[in-house]
Structures are given as C-alpha cells and as structure tokens.
Amino acid sequence: MKPDPLTFVLFGASGDLTSRKILPALARLADLGALPEPFVLVGVARTKWSDDEFRQQCREAAAAAVPEQQQETSLDDSEAPREAAGTSGSSGSWEALVPRFRYVTGDYDSDDTFGELESVLRDLDDESGTSGNRVFYLATIPSLFGEVAAGLGRHSLNKPGTGGSFARLVVEKPFGTDLDSSKALDASLHEVFDERSIYRIDHYMGKETVQNVLALRFANAIFEPIWNRRYVDQVQVTVAESIGVEHRGSFYEGAGALRDIVQNHVMQVLALTLMEPPSTVDPIAIRDEKVKLLRSIVAPDRSAVERDVVRAQYDRGTIDGVAVPAYREEEGVAPRSTTETFVAMRLSVENWRWAGVPVYVRTGKRLAKRTTEVAMLFQRAPHLPFQGQLTSELRPDALILRIQPDEGISLCFGAKVPGQSFRVRTVRMDFSYQEEFGGRPAEAYERLLLDAMLGDPTLFIRTDEVEQAWAILHPVQQAFSDDSLALAHYAAGTWGPASATVLLESSGHHWNNP
C-alpha cells in the first residue's frame, strides 16, 4: 500500500541525522517504489543552500549510505558519528525525484522562515499535485521542537492545505530530559497538533526483531502458555555497545546512559515483551497494552534505588586488542565527570502475569561486545535424576530475542552429550532472519518513515507511554543527580562493574552474557 500524495518537510535538513539516516531511508523507499506519487521533499535549515545545493546533498547522502546492519554507531541517532562511504544501491527512482526537491534557508524562530515555507508548500501543491498533505519531520536538536511546532502553528501549517486530509508531526527522541520537561514539551506540541497527528519516533521500534515479539508471542501456541510467572524465572534486557562516546562527549555529559537508552529503547522493548495480549493488532489496542504494562512497573523508592540500581563509568581498557581511553579522558568530558556510561537495574512488575519475576536491565558503553537482546530464562526442572558433574554445563532453559546485530531468536535447552556417560549440557537452536528470509531486511528508518506517511501509529510512542517511562525512572534520576548513589567503575572491554554481577548473584541469578 502506498501513501497518499504528500510533501515531506524536513527540519534540520543539513544535519548529520538527515544525511546518515533519513535521506538514505527515503532513497531506499524510492528504489522500492514505496513512496507516494507524487512525493516532494522540502528541506529547512539554517545552512545557506540553494535548491540545487540541497538536491546535490540528497544525491550524495543516498550514495554514501552504509546499511545499519554494517554499522556500529551510537544508539542515539541525533548525535552519532558519520560513517564511512559505502553503497546504498540508490537507483534512478530517487534520482528522478530529486529535481523536484526544494530548500528553505532560515532560523527556526523567524516568521520569515515559516512564511517562505508556507509559500513553497502552496506552490508545490499547485505544481506537483501533492494535494495539501504534509509530514513535518523534526530532525533538529530537541530544544527546538516546541519552537518549530509553534512556528508551524502561527502560519496554519499544522493543518492540511487545500484539498489535503492530514498534517503530521514526526518528533525525534529524546522526548524531554525528565518527567517535568517531557510534560512541558508535550504541552507545547499539543497547543499546535492534536495527539493523533504527533508521531514520536524511536528507531528501535522499527527493527524486525522488536516487531517480531508480537508474532512470536501471539502466533505460536507453544510460547504463549509459558509466557508468565509460573514458568519464567527472570527476564533480562541487555543493550551493550563496544564503542565509547566517540565525538559526542559534550552531548553525553548532559545525557548519560539512563536518559540515552533506558528511558526509551529499554522501556519500549520491555513493554512489548511483557504486555498482555491485545484484542487486535489495531494501533490503539497495542499501545493501550504497552501503557498498561508500563504502569505496572514499580517506580523504586530511594531505598530500592540504593539496593537495585548500579551506575558506573568506564575506565581504560582494551577493545578487540586495541587500548582505549577512560571516559574522563574522552574529548568534551569533564576530568571529574560523574556521568554514568553504564546502568544496571532490577525492576518488578506488579500484575497477575509477572508478579514476583525479577526484570533485570543493563546498558553500557565500552562493553565486551556489541549486542542487544532480551533473554527470558525459565524455571529449573523440579527434579534432575542426574546430578553433579553430569549437569555441570546445564544452564536454565532460555528464549533469547536477538535484536542486533544478528537479528534472530535462540532457544537454549538441555541435551545429552554424545558418549558413554549421561552428561547433559545446554545447546542452542538458532533462527536467523538473514538465513531464513535472505536479502537485507528493511532498516528501521525505512519502516518508520513509511508508517508515518501512511498514518500508521503502531510503532510510534504515545504521550502517556513517554510520561510513564519517565515516571518510573524519576527516583533514579534524582539519585543520580544528587550523587547519593555511588559511581562504580569498570574496565573497557568487560561486561561492566563487579557490583552489576553482585546485583544478580544476591538473588542466585547470573547475567546471560553472549
């Protein structure tokens, strides 16, 4: 299904996110024949470009893109480093569209900018037949989101043009920096756009494995009956990066791992993994169940934060045989910084399905391996007739959802080792998207951009989801900000500080390290 004709307006058109992610994704959609007909792109930024200079940037960005399966970049797209050139397979489909593209130079707080944009959109509706439909994408720094939305409102661009049926606003994360700022941001956006027209984008939600959680749970009778506290012993979510902060030191100083990863990616993955079955796959039903799950996660009090949360920062170490600096030695980082690059937490979900099941989450930079996965570890068999050395290599049964870089699913269970003795150890049965379906799966931005143009909000974040995620982490943020929770340290190239290991061992559990 193709979207209706529209004009795609890209604020922050000269930025890194635009060149690395958005333009290549749009070019790929063009090559697949998935873009609306007609489709016109309008860039808006402070950089002084002509229409032709912007069009050349569009061509170069598509040609220099590297598929995300080949990348290891920071998970925060708005600040990640530019990758080396490769090929995207961009063809004549994108090239045929580029001559129509337009560009508006101006400040985001200037009415002249929005006045010119209004004029350009009106001309395009007449010349290209875009029918007054608009999608506005905010790829600017977060502090400008409210300002841009207000400018659109002053010039009535929050409403479709003549003959149009929609005007949508796509907002990049982060959605605020804490509970209060997220509420203030939503209030400013809602002054101009209603909630159904706001699409908060988190690229993790566009990954195939994240989406496949729904299929795995609700299309397979062998899994759904055991997806509960009766059979599941613990749930673990790991978002690990082997890279450091790269050139993002000054940005990361004001963010840290809690804001950068836990509040958005981790909470969204948890919600999909643990939510109740929706009555239908309707976007409202799915998002309602995600919110219900988030409301069931207990926000820890101060004593629980001290007991169940670990914050840490990486020191010098070795990654793939190469010595790497400590976080405090990175460019843009304060010599005595207390910003966390690692967070581990034990959470509890107080509902009928998950009561009593600990949920462990961790994220960090400069860890031993780049990986993102959800591990569901099951209860031990109530009785083993073979004991001691015969089962020394037997670990708990587990279902592991591999989100990146090797997207797939693993089922871990016990099997007899060939030989005379009855020795049992854990083995893995793997499903790989690449091997099963072949080709390159659609990248996250391709899927999400197309959904925004189609008006499908299923994989986008609703305002009550954002607010509830911040509410869960609010006490943790307070403890971090007043330094009441000690900052641990870990060597780069390891799986984090010893205190993160102790967090699980105190309950008789162990991290599922890939």
**How is the chain split into domains, by residue range?**
6-172, 205-440+461-505
> Checking DSSP bridges between strand 359-364 and strand 232-240, what pairing results, if any?
parallel
Q: Which helix (H) or strand (E) holds 59?
A: helix 51-63
Whether 399 contacts 408, CB under 8 Å: no
Is-contact 116 54, C-beta < 8 A? Answer: no
- Position 316 scores a pLDDT of 95
Tell me the CB-side half-sphere exposure of residue 425, using CA atoms within 13 A: 10
6-172 shares its CATH topology with 205-440+461-505? no
Two structure tokens written together for 205 = 């939600």
Architecture of domain 6-172: 3-Layer(aba) Sandwich (3.40)
Whether 362 and 346 have beta carbons less than 8 Å apart is answered as no
List helix spans (H) across 254-309: 256-257, 267-274, 283-296, 302-308
Q: Which amino acid is at 494?
A: T
Distance of CA 253 to the CA centre of its chain: 20
> Residue 194 in 3-state DSSP?
coil
Report the pLDDT value the prediction gives residue 39, as an integer from 0 to 100. Answer: 95
The pLDDT score that the predictor gives to residue 422 is 78
Radius of gyration of the chain (CA): 24
Nearest to 357 by CA among 277, 407, 293: 293
Tokens for 87?
A: 């090929």
CA angle 273, 274, 276 (to 5 degrees): 115
What does pLDDT average to in each consecutive run of 10 residues of the chain (514 residues)?
Answer: 93 92 93 93 96 95 66 41 35 85 95 96 91 94 93 95 93 88 94 96 79 84 92 96 87 89 92 91 89 96 93 95 94 93 97 96 96 93 67 80 87 83 83 79 85 93 94 94 90 96 93 89
DSSP for residue 284:
H
Instruction: Give the CATH architecture of domain 205-440+461-505.
Output: 2-Layer Sandwich (3.30)
The Cα 233–Cα 506 span in angstroms is 15
Q: Where are the beta strands (DSSP E) in 177-305?
A: 198-201, 232-240
Residue 363 CB partners (closer than 8 Å, separation 6+): 238, 239, 240, 257, 261, 262, 265, 266, 342, 343
In this prediction, residue 213 carries a pLDDT of 83
Query: For residues 200 and 145, what is the distance between their CA atoms, to the nearest angstrom?
Result: 11
Torsion of CA 467, 471, 473, 475, to 10 degrees: 150
Q: What is the DSSP letter of 85?
A: P
Q: Which residue(s) pair with 235 in the sheet?
A: 359, 376
17 Cβ contact list (under 8 Å, min separation 6): 77, 78, 80, 139, 172
Are the beta carbons of 360 and 501 closer than 8 angstroms? no
Active-site entry in 203, 265, 383, 489:
265
Round to whole Å and give the CA distance between 349 and 295.
9
pLDDT of amino acid 250: 84
Determine whether 265 is an active site residue.
Answer: yes
> How long, in residues, is the chain?
514
User: Angle 140-143-147 (CA atoms, 0-180°, nearest 5)?
Assistant: 85
